[in-house]
Structure 1
Amino acid sequence: MYSLQFTAESTSNGVVERDFTVGDIPGVLWSPASGADRAPLVLIGHDGAKHKKHPAMTGRAHRLVNNCGFHVAVIDAPGHGDRPRTAHDERERAALSEAWATGEPVSPIVVRYNEHLAELSLPEWRATLDALQELPEIGTGGPVGYFGVRMGTATGVPLVAVEPRITAAAFGLYWSEAVVEKAKEITVPVEFAMQWDDEHIPREAGLALFDAFASTEKTLHANAGKQGEMPRFEADSAVRFFARHLGGAVTSPA
């Protein structure tokens, strides 16, 4: 078991940001600056070609910390952020670039690469959760959520399917046969967002993934527009979702 080592710390707008490593896995933990007692934890999976401190990750983290008093953690996926790229990463990225340039479908490449990353990420997320729960401000036995769209869904669904410590999850903007099969094993509350006019994911495929979740409590948010046009208020909705299911309370408009 790897221990967690903090490597940097800063504070802004009521949020403490701490960089950490678990073995060779780099991550960041956001927490309330008030130093409150033990609080729920939300894990966020970042999107493809992004990283743990991408503005979307930072924005979601600050919402969850300031509005709910939660701790929020993100780790760099293999081949992303501060992690070195392997020859496999470079081949897949080159294949994606060529597909974009020639107008060929990118979805088969994205699905193939994301399934590879999901396999690598699963033990890393579980090791990170083990280490985070050693912190007194998080502890064992407390509520844990997972939040991720696109690649964050591709890597998160397999994790939530096998990790009993995660008790609520928000996903979206993804579909594949492998993810559908894993979704059938998920029974915790789920919020799922999709774009009705997604140019990469057929509408029927997004609906099939939502239908596959075995949760008795699940909510579908279908918004008009293409994949990159998902409304910003979906992040606010996720905050309220986690507040309901992890025991927090939204303390300011979300």
Structure 2
Amino acid sequence: MDSLLLTSSTTTDGVTERRFHLGDVPGILWTPEGATGPRPLVLLGHGGGMRMDVPRLVASARATVSAHGFAVAAIDAPGHGARPRLPRDDAARAEIRAARTADDSARFAAVSTRYMAELAEQAVPEWQAVIDALQALPEVGADAPVGYGGSISLGSAIGIPLTAAEPRIRAAVFGGGFFVSAAVVEAARRIRVPVQFLLPWDDEHASRADSLALFDAFGSEEKTLHANPGDHRRPRWLGLDEDFLARHLTAVAA
């Protein structure tokens, strides 16, 4: 198993941000300044074409640390951010651009679905190894409850199979905004933890009906759907349960 290599550490406004590598996977861990003892861990997944340190994700991580004292972690998905682009990544992105240029929605959906499945297959065990490594840190702890926040798009395409496979995840936030495959629906059926699901109502790519069917598939007794106006890039999230993860992870930790 690869060792966790901490590469930098900075502290501002009471939040310590440490960059790390686990093998060839780069990541960021945010914790309260001077944190000691165990605490819940929240994993944040970024969207397709983005990276772990986009401003919105960083702001969310820092707010969670400041408000609740949790640890928060993010990693670059395969082929994203600081990670090398493989021939698979370049080929898929070229196919996606060609399909969009040709206004070929069926091809666009097929290529996107295949590519996200390939990324998820690689990313799920990477995230599990990151959980192992971070829970070995005394300020996180081996028994720390874990939550997942994937918002929409790639973050959910990876987060749903991860949550289905990983019993340490005790609550999760997912969303629409991607092409839902039969494999993702099957993974959703295996999820039993509380789920908050975000749906950009006017997404110009993903099918609203497929997103609703995905929500219906979750096997969780507690699940809520939040549908807000907005397209794929600019949803306006209003009326969300902002304390959803904190409430469930604090209850587990108590």
Which position in structure 1 is the counterpart of 2:149?
A: 147
Residue 32 (structure 1) shift: 1.1
1:13 partner amino acid: D
In the alignment, structure 2 segments of 5+ residues that lack a partner are none
Which position in structure 2 is the counterpart of 1:112?
A: 114
SS at match of 1:247: helix
Q: Distance in 2 between matches of 1:22 and 1:244?
A: 29
Contact 2:228/2:237, CA 8 A, preserved across alignment: no
Which position in structure 2 is the counterpart of 1:6?
A: 6
Which position in structure 2 is the counterpart of 1:190?
A: 195
Q: Distance in 2 between matches of 1:232 and 1:51?
A: 21
SS at match of 1:73: strand
Which position in structure 2 is the counterpart of 1:214?
A: 219
- Count residues in correspondence: 246
Higher relative contact order (CA 8 A, sep 6+): 1
Q: Distance in 2 between matches of 1:233 and 1:9?
A: 34
Which position in structure 2 is the counterpart of 1:163?
A: 166
TM-score (norm 1): 0.92
Q: Deviations over 1:193-238 (max 9, x none)?
A: 102222222221111000000000111101123222322447xx46
Residue 7 (structure 1) shift: 0.3
SS at match of 2:196: strand
Contact 2:10/2:16, CA 8 A, preserved across alignment: yes
Contact 2:44/2:149, CA 8 A, preserved across alignment: yes
Q: Deviations over 1:156-210 (max 9, x none)?
A: 1111001000000000023332211110000000000102222222221111000
SS at match of 2:243: helix
> Which runs of structure 1 show a deviation greater than 3 angstroms over 4 or more consecutive aligned residues?
none
Say yes or no: does 1:28 pair with 2:28. Answer: yes
SS at match of 1:82: coil
Q: Distance in 2 between matches of 1:164 and 1:84?
A: 30
In the alignment, structure 1 segments of 5+ residues that lack a partner are 249-254
Contact 1:63/1:239, CA 8 A, preserved across alignment: no
Q: Distance in 2 between matches of 1:232 and 1:13?
A: 26
SS at match of 2:233: helix
2:65 partner amino acid: V
Contact 1:51/1:80, CA 8 A, preserved across alignment: yes
Say yes or no: does 1:223 pair with 2:225. Answer: no
Q: Distance in 2 between matches of 1:9 and 1:239?
A: 28
Q: Distance in 2 between matches of 1:212 and 1:222?
A: 17
Residue 104 (structure 1) shift: 2.3
Q: How does 1:48-87 map to 2 (within 5 A)?
A: 48-87=48-87
1:150 partner amino acid: S
TM-score (norm 2): 0.92
User: Which range moved further: 197-206 or 154-163?
Assistant: 197-206
- The match for 1:123 among 118, 121, 125 is 125
Q: Distance in 2 between matches of 1:238 and 1:48?
A: 24
Q: Deviations over 1:80-100 (max 9, x none)?
A: 111111111110111122222
* Alignment root-mean-square deviation, CA: 1.6
1:130 partner amino acid: D
Q: Distance in 2 between matches of 1:115 and 1:238?
A: 29
Q: Deviations over 1:60-116 (max 9, x none)?
A: 111211111111101111111111111111101111222222222233222111000
Contact 1:44/1:74, CA 8 A, preserved across alignment: yes
Residue 131 (structure 1) shift: 0.4
Contact 2:230/2:236, CA 8 A, preserved across alignment: no
Q: Distance in 1 between matches of 2:19 and 2:225?
A: 34
Say yes or no: does 1:244 pair with 2:224. Answer: no
2:83 partner amino acid: R
